[in-house]
Amino acid sequence: MNKKIAFTDLGLKDYKATWELQENLFASIVDLKIQNRRLQEETPTPNYFLFVEHPHVYTLGKSGDLSNLLLSEEQLEKKEATFYKINRGGDITYHGPGQVVGYPILDLENFFTDIHKYLRFLEEAIILTLQEYGIESERSPGETGVWLGVGTPFARKICAMGVRASRWVTMHGFALNVNADLGYFDNIIPCGIRGKAVTSLHVELGVTSVDEEEVKQKITAHFLNLFEGSIEVATF
């Protein structure tokens, strides 16, 4: 099993271009797995982790409800935002500046073959990261992602998650609000869940901004520890 993970920070990158990159990496891993089985070979499959920040964009998962987008095409243009229907799980979410977005593209057969465990590990990496900032976060029963104030009238989501997996290969991932403009969430029913708010790390800490590079470093450390992985230089 290859537990090396190639971490890459794409910086600010268009959502569609990043989605295409994910699809290409995803397909290359799946194709290699098919080839290995056909030829009875054991060529190691690679693993990737993309950090990225997107311009304003709304994405709707394959099981999502379009009515959870509260903007017309004209209003989207005025807000300089784009919209895509995509092939991950989950409903609608927002990505934009001030978010730390992570897309792990892993062959889970290199780690463990359990999608539920994979999602819990993604959540745990974020929970442990927030803990380092003195923020106590948790899971909300039946609702994927990371939340604050679960079970109180002030429940609020700080990290959304949605993944796709096929042949135990993953794509898509999480979006952690670090310095996010929360006003953009007013234009959707986030994740299709009514009556619950969204928050950002800088709001919870009561500061103007949080060092996003530091947040990425903390997420990376916790992710590697949970998955018992190591860093490899990206070669794509």
Sorted by where each begins, the domain ranges of the chain are 4-232
CATH class, 4-232 region: alpha beta
pLDDT averaged over 10-residue windows placed end to end, the chain, 236 residues: 96 96 97 95 96 94 83 86 85 92 98 97 98 96 91 92 94 97 84 72 98 98 98 82
Residue 73: per-residue pLDDT: 83
How far is 50 from 173, CA to CA, in rounded Å? 9
pTM of the entire predicted model: 0.93
Residues of each annotated binding site for substrate: 88-95, 160-162, 173-175
Residue 195: per-residue pLDDT: 59
Residues with a catalytic annotation lie at 191
Residue 39: per-residue pLDDT: 94
Q: Is 224 left (phi over 0), alpha (psi -120 to 50) or beta?
A: alpha
